[in-house]
Amino acid sequence: MSVSRLSERLPDFPWDLLAPAKRVAAAHPGGLVDLSMGTPVDPVPAVVRAALTEASDSPGYPLTAGTPALRAAIAEWAARNCGALADGLGVLPTIGSKELVAWLPTLLGIGPGDTVVIPTVCYPTYEVGVRLAGATPVRTDSLTSLGPARVRLVWVNSPSNPTGQVLPAAHLRKVVEWARERGAVVASDECYLTLGWESTPISVLSPEVNSGRLDGVLAVHSLSKRSNLAGYRAGFVAGDPAIVSELLAVRKHGGLIVPAPVQAAMVVALGDEDHATVQRSVYAARRGVLRDALAKAGFEIEHSGAGLYLWATRDEDSWATADWFAERGILVAPGAFYGPAGERHVRVALTATDERVAAAVERLEI
């Protein structure tokens, strides 16, 4: 029996390509400093762990739609942090945000002959999701350049991963208006929304962006970085209730369900801003010392006004820069992972312990 190899549609998995540089960096006498993938290293908040434990006796099937408590917690969080009008807001928990990004085109019925717009420099999974659906990805930050293409979905990402760029409300509003005129959906990846530094991000759920209407608009969020819940796979999508209802209908058939104990933990995590404030201050401190160290080492930091990464360049091939870091025992992500336009940058994550960040700073000074 022959098996169609869906994986052949997809690009190489970027982190596999980084293995040689990781081996070099790990051989450093002081050990590896991993500033590449952006995996949280700080503890899961105690209140969240307690909620997970309390809900661990969950023998029955969980609700794909999320418990009423979780749906209310998502709506309330979106109202506080996104300026969303809670009345009529569609919400749905997801198995982290990457799962939703990878499968959204398929869940929306997008396929061959359809175009999906992704940012010029962006998270690789946007393109992966388009290719899984058999549609055509187009990298552009200027919708006017698309011409008559049959666009079904437009991804925006603010704050950007990897660049940390923040899109102003006026830009996002134009994207929403353009998409509505053409019957396309705008999906806004806002996983770093609450981590604004020099710039203040705004959500596509804000009336300032969507003119007080949710039609055609989705926002994607994650608790991975805000609450150190990457291991829990806890995320959600919010926006147009009709689209969210369709996503739910398909996801119920596909078994795309957040486990019940994780749903209970999400309720507590979304309702507690104290731990998020503490974690934000931790990242701010790490960001400050790494940014200074990179500047002293001759790197220019571009954008990076928000989020968990520094977008650094010294105007050379990104793999050469990654090798330079690896020789010093530091692993960073080559900008080539994020599209051709990123090939002269590297992405430096803030997700390492204070001790490892201090080690990186010391090595950059030599």
Q: DSSP characters for 219-282? A: EEEESTTTSS-GGGT-EEEEE-HHHHHHHHHHHHHHT----HHHHHHHHHHHH--HHHHHHHHH
pLDDT digits (tens, 9 = 90+) for 230-264: 999 999 999 999 999 999 999 999 999 999 999 99
C-alpha pair distances (Å), 72 with each of 53, 272, 364 = 21, 14, 46
Contact 262, 52 (CB under 8 A): yes
Identity of the amino acid at 257: I
- Tell me how far apart the alpha carbons of residues 16 and 14 are, in angstroms, rounded to a whole number: 5
How far apart (Å, rounded) are the C-alpha atoms in residues 87 and 171? 25
pLDDT of 9 reads 84
Structure tokens at 303: 């954008």
From residue 140, alpha-carbon distances to 154, 186, 334, 365 in Å are 10, 14, 20, 37
State how far the Cα of 254 lies from the Cα of 268, in Å rounded to an integer: 27
| Mean pLDDT for the stretch of residues 162-168 | 98
Beta strands of the chain (E only): which ranges? Answer: 33-34, 90-94, 115-118, 136-139, 151-157, 185-189, 217-222, 235-239, 300-302, 309-313, 330-331, 333-334, 346-349
Q: Nearest 5°: phi and psi at 20?
A: -60, -40
pLDDT at 3: 65
Residue 6, pLDDT score: 87
Compute the distance between CA of residue 23 and CA of residue 308 in angstroms, rounded to an integer.
Answer: 24
CA distance 200 to 351: 21
Q: What is the pLDDT of residues 106-143, one digit of tens each?
A: 999 999 999 999 999 999 999 999 999 999 999 999 99
The residue count of the chain comes to: 366
**Alpha-carbon distances of 9 from 12, 13, 112, 132, 364, rounded to whole Å:** 10, 12, 13, 7, 39
Within the chain, how many helices (H) and strands (E) appear?
13, 13
Tell me the average pLDDT across 189-204. 97
DSSP string, 26-50: HTSTT--EE-SS----SPPPHHHHH
Q: Which residues pair with 3 in a beta bridge?
A: none
Cα gap 219→50, rounded to integer Å: 28
What integer is the mean pLDDT of 337-358?
Answer: 98
Tally Cβ neighbours within 10 Å of residue 56.
11
Give the closest residue to 63 by CA, choosing from 96, 88, 101, 93. Answer: 93
DSSP structure class, residue 216: T
215 three-state secondary structure? coil
Q: How far apart are the first and last CA of the chain?
A: 58
- Of 83-92, 98-107, 198-207, minimum mean pLDDT range: 83-92
Helix, strand, coil percent values for the chain (each to nearest 5): 45, 15, 40
* Mean pLDDT for the chain overall: 96
- Which pLDDT score, from 0 to 100, does residue 147 have? 80
Residues 174-200: what's their mean pLDDT? 97
Buried b / exposed e over 216-243, threshold 16 CB at 10 Å, is bbbbbbbbbbbbbbbebbbbbbbbbeeb
> What are 14-55's pLDDT values in tens digits?
899 999 999 999 999 999 999 999 999 999 999 999 999 999
